[in-house]
Amino acid sequence: RYGQIEAEDQIGAATGLAYTAGGGDTLSIEVSLAKGEGNLTLTGKLGDVMKESAKAAFSYIRSRSSELNIDPQFHENNDIHIHVPEGATPKDGPSAGITMATALISALTERKVYREVGMTGEITLRGRVLPVGGIKEKSMSAHRAGLSTIILPKDNEKDLEDVPESVREGLTFHFVSHLDEVLELALGE
Protein backbone atom coordinates (compact mmCIF):
# COMPACT_ATOMS: atom_id res chain seq x y z
CA ARG A 1 0.00 0.00 0.00
CA TYR A 2 3.03 2.26 -0.14
CA GLY A 3 2.86 5.07 -2.59
CA GLN A 4 -0.90 5.11 -1.92
CA ILE A 5 -3.05 7.37 0.17
CA GLU A 6 -3.99 6.21 3.70
CA ALA A 7 -7.38 4.48 3.99
CA GLU A 8 -8.47 6.75 6.87
CA ASP A 9 -7.42 9.93 8.67
CA GLN A 10 -4.71 8.94 11.14
CA ILE A 11 -3.51 9.98 14.57
CA GLY A 12 0.30 10.01 14.77
CA ALA A 13 1.03 9.56 11.09
CA ALA A 14 1.53 12.11 8.33
CA THR A 15 2.40 11.88 4.64
CA GLY A 16 5.62 13.45 3.40
CA LEU A 17 6.95 13.84 -0.10
CA ALA A 18 10.44 12.57 -0.87
CA TYR A 19 12.82 13.26 -3.72
CA THR A 20 14.54 9.98 -4.59
CA ALA A 21 16.92 8.56 -7.15
CA GLY A 22 13.88 7.16 -8.97
CA GLY A 23 11.94 10.48 -8.97
CA GLY A 24 9.50 11.32 -6.18
CA ASP A 25 7.78 9.14 -3.61
CA THR A 26 5.35 9.54 -0.74
CA LEU A 27 6.59 8.71 2.71
CA SER A 28 4.70 7.81 5.88
CA ILE A 29 6.04 9.37 9.08
CA GLU A 30 4.83 7.37 12.07
CA VAL A 31 4.98 8.44 15.72
CA SER A 32 4.32 6.30 18.78
CA LEU A 33 4.10 7.37 22.41
CA ALA A 34 4.58 5.22 25.49
CA LYS A 35 4.88 5.99 29.18
CA GLY A 36 8.56 6.69 29.68
CA GLU A 37 11.14 9.25 30.63
CA GLY A 38 11.81 11.48 27.70
CA ASN A 39 13.76 9.33 25.23
CA LEU A 40 13.42 10.20 21.53
CA THR A 41 14.07 7.26 19.18
CA LEU A 42 14.51 7.82 15.44
CA THR A 43 14.48 4.87 13.03
CA GLY A 44 14.06 4.06 9.34
CA LYS A 45 17.68 4.29 8.11
CA LEU A 46 17.65 8.06 8.56
CA GLY A 47 20.72 10.15 7.75
CA ASP A 48 22.18 12.74 10.12
CA VAL A 49 20.46 15.74 8.53
CA MET A 50 17.06 14.07 8.78
CA LYS A 51 17.70 13.14 12.41
CA GLU A 52 18.69 16.71 13.22
CA SER A 53 15.56 17.88 11.47
CA ALA A 54 13.49 15.64 13.77
CA LYS A 55 15.26 17.14 16.78
CA ALA A 56 14.50 20.67 15.59
CA ALA A 57 10.82 19.74 15.17
CA PHE A 58 10.84 18.19 18.63
CA SER A 59 12.48 21.20 20.32
CA TYR A 60 10.11 23.58 18.57
CA ILE A 61 7.16 21.65 20.01
CA ARG A 62 8.70 21.54 23.49
CA SER A 63 9.36 25.27 23.50
CA ARG A 64 5.81 26.03 22.33
CA SER A 65 3.83 23.37 24.18
CA SER A 66 1.33 25.71 25.78
CA GLU A 67 0.42 27.47 22.50
CA LEU A 68 0.01 24.01 20.94
CA ASN A 69 -2.26 22.75 23.75
CA ILE A 70 0.22 20.06 24.69
CA ASP A 71 1.01 19.12 28.29
CA PRO A 72 4.32 20.91 29.00
CA GLN A 73 5.46 17.76 30.87
CA PHE A 74 4.84 15.48 27.90
CA HIS A 75 8.55 15.14 27.42
CA GLU A 76 9.29 13.84 30.91
CA ASN A 77 6.44 11.36 30.96
CA ASN A 78 6.70 9.76 27.54
CA ASP A 79 9.19 7.98 25.34
CA ILE A 80 8.65 9.05 21.76
CA HIS A 81 9.52 7.04 18.67
CA ILE A 82 9.52 8.44 15.12
CA HIS A 83 9.80 5.77 12.43
CA VAL A 84 9.84 6.12 8.68
CA PRO A 85 9.10 2.93 6.73
CA GLU A 86 10.35 1.28 4.56
CA GLY A 87 13.10 0.33 6.98
CA ALA A 88 15.68 -0.76 4.40
CA THR A 89 15.53 2.42 2.30
CA PRO A 90 18.09 5.10 3.26
CA LYS A 91 16.53 8.53 3.75
CA ASP A 92 18.11 11.90 4.41
CA GLY A 93 17.72 15.67 4.07
CA PRO A 94 15.74 18.33 5.95
CA SER A 95 12.62 18.27 3.79
CA ALA A 96 10.60 15.98 6.06
CA GLY A 97 10.86 18.56 8.87
CA ILE A 98 7.29 19.85 8.76
CA THR A 99 5.90 16.33 8.24
CA MET A 100 7.67 15.04 11.34
CA ALA A 101 6.44 18.06 13.31
CA THR A 102 2.88 17.45 12.13
CA ALA A 103 2.94 13.74 12.99
CA LEU A 104 4.37 14.50 16.45
CA ILE A 105 1.76 17.16 17.20
CA SER A 106 -0.99 14.85 15.96
CA ALA A 107 0.19 12.10 18.34
CA LEU A 108 0.50 14.51 21.27
CA THR A 109 -2.87 16.24 20.75
CA GLU A 110 -4.72 13.19 19.38
CA ARG A 111 -5.93 15.30 16.48
CA LYS A 112 -6.19 13.39 13.19
CA VAL A 113 -4.14 14.20 10.09
CA TYR A 114 -6.30 14.53 6.97
CA ARG A 115 -5.51 11.54 4.76
CA GLU A 116 -5.58 13.54 1.52
CA VAL A 117 -2.86 15.99 2.59
CA GLY A 118 0.84 15.63 1.74
CA MET A 119 3.61 18.06 2.57
CA THR A 120 7.32 18.92 2.29
CA GLY A 121 9.48 21.64 3.87
CA GLU A 122 12.42 22.24 6.21
CA ILE A 123 11.48 23.38 9.70
CA THR A 124 13.53 25.67 11.96
CA LEU A 125 13.58 26.05 15.74
CA ARG A 126 11.18 28.97 15.41
CA GLY A 127 8.71 27.02 13.27
CA ARG A 128 9.65 28.81 10.08
CA VAL A 129 9.29 26.76 6.87
CA LEU A 130 12.29 26.87 4.50
CA PRO A 131 12.35 25.91 0.79
CA VAL A 132 13.36 22.44 -0.44
CA GLY A 133 14.21 20.74 -3.73
CA GLY A 134 12.36 18.38 -6.07
CA ILE A 135 8.99 20.17 -6.15
CA LYS A 136 8.19 18.78 -9.58
CA GLU A 137 8.88 15.15 -8.72
CA LYS A 138 7.25 15.41 -5.32
CA SER A 139 4.08 16.89 -6.79
CA MET A 140 3.87 14.13 -9.36
CA SER A 141 4.23 11.40 -6.73
CA ALA A 142 1.56 13.09 -4.57
CA HIS A 143 -0.82 13.07 -7.51
CA ARG A 144 0.00 9.46 -8.37
CA ALA A 145 -0.66 8.40 -4.77
CA GLY A 146 -4.11 9.96 -4.82
CA LEU A 147 -3.56 12.95 -2.53
CA SER A 148 -5.73 16.02 -3.14
CA THR A 149 -3.76 18.73 -1.33
CA ILE A 150 -0.09 19.49 -0.85
CA ILE A 151 1.61 21.97 1.43
CA LEU A 152 4.83 23.59 0.18
CA PRO A 153 7.17 26.31 1.49
CA LYS A 154 6.36 29.88 0.44
CA ASP A 155 9.80 30.22 -1.12
CA ASN A 156 9.04 27.30 -3.46
CA GLU A 157 6.11 29.13 -5.06
CA LYS A 158 8.32 29.93 -8.06
CA ASP A 159 8.84 26.18 -8.71
CA LEU A 160 5.15 25.61 -9.46
CA GLU A 161 5.83 26.44 -13.09
CA ASP A 162 7.90 23.23 -13.36
CA VAL A 163 4.96 21.00 -12.37
CA PRO A 164 3.10 19.41 -15.32
CA GLU A 165 -0.27 20.95 -16.14
CA SER A 166 -2.23 17.75 -15.40
CA VAL A 167 -0.72 17.44 -11.95
CA ARG A 168 -1.30 21.09 -11.17
CA GLU A 169 -4.95 20.70 -11.99
CA GLY A 170 -5.38 17.56 -9.91
CA LEU A 171 -3.92 19.03 -6.71
CA THR A 172 -4.60 22.00 -4.43
CA PHE A 173 -1.34 23.75 -3.52
CA HIS A 174 -0.78 25.70 -0.29
CA PHE A 175 2.35 27.78 0.17
CA VAL A 176 3.27 28.46 3.80
CA SER A 177 6.01 30.19 5.79
CA HIS A 178 5.26 28.95 9.31
CA LEU A 179 4.29 25.63 10.88
CA ASP A 180 1.12 27.18 12.30
CA GLU A 181 -0.27 27.35 8.74
CA VAL A 182 0.66 23.70 8.16
CA LEU A 183 -1.22 22.57 11.26
CA GLU A 184 -4.30 24.57 10.27
CA LEU A 185 -4.34 22.82 6.88
CA ALA A 186 -3.44 19.28 7.96
CA LEU A 187 -5.02 18.60 11.35
CA GLY A 188 -8.66 17.95 12.18
CA GLU A 189 -10.29 18.86 15.52
- Site residues for a second copy per CB under 8 A: 1-2, 10, 12-13, 28, 30-36, 41, 43-45, 48-49, 52-53, 55-56, 59-60, 62-63, 65, 72-73, 75, 79, 81, 83, 85-88, 93-94, 97, 122, 124-126, 128, 130, 154-155, 177
Residue type, 156: N
Annotate each residue in 22-61 with x if it binds Ca ion (CB under 5 A) or - if it does not, as one string.
Answer: ---x------------------------------------
Closest distance of CB 130 from a second copy, Å: 6
Q: Which residues contact 93 (CB under 8 A, 6 or more apart)?
A: 19, 47, 49, 50, 53, 132
Task: Name residue 80's beta-bridge partners.
Answer: 33, 40
Closest distance of CB 70 from a second copy, Å: 11
Instruction: Return d(Cα 57, Cα 100) in angstroms, integer.
Output: 7
Could you say which of 91, 106, 136, 138 is catalytic? Answer: 138
Instruction: Return d(Cα 175, Cα 155) in angstroms, integer.
Output: 8
Closest distance of CB 125 from a second copy, Å: 4
In the complex with Ca ion, the residue whose CB is nearer, 76 or 162, is 162
In the complex with a second copy, the residue whose CB is nearer, 8 or 169, is 8
Question: Among this protein's residues, is 158 annotated catalytic?
Answer: no
Name the binder of 180 from a second copy, Ca ion, none, CB < 5-8 A by kind. none
Question: Among this protein's residues, is 154 annotated catalytic?
Answer: no
Q: Is 67 in the site for Ca ion (CB under 5 A)?
A: no
**Interacting residues with Ca ion between 127 and 186 (CB under 5 A):** 159
Could you say which of 95, 106, 139, 141 is catalytic? Answer: 95
The DSSP-derived string for the chain is -TTS--SS-BSSEEEEEEEETTEEEEEEEEEEEEESSS-EEEESSB-HHHHHHHHHHHHHHHHTTTTTT--TTHHHHEEEEEE-S-TTS-B-SSTTHHHHHHHHHHHHHTPPBPTTEEE--EE-TT-BEE--S-HHHHHHHHHHHT--EEEEEGGGGGGGGGS-HHHHHHSEEEEESBHHHHHHHHB--
In the complex with Ca ion, the residue whose CB is nearer, 3 or 188, is 3
Name the binder of 12 from Ca ion, a second copy, none, CB < 5-8 A by kind. a second copy
Q: Which residues are catalytic?
A: 95, 138
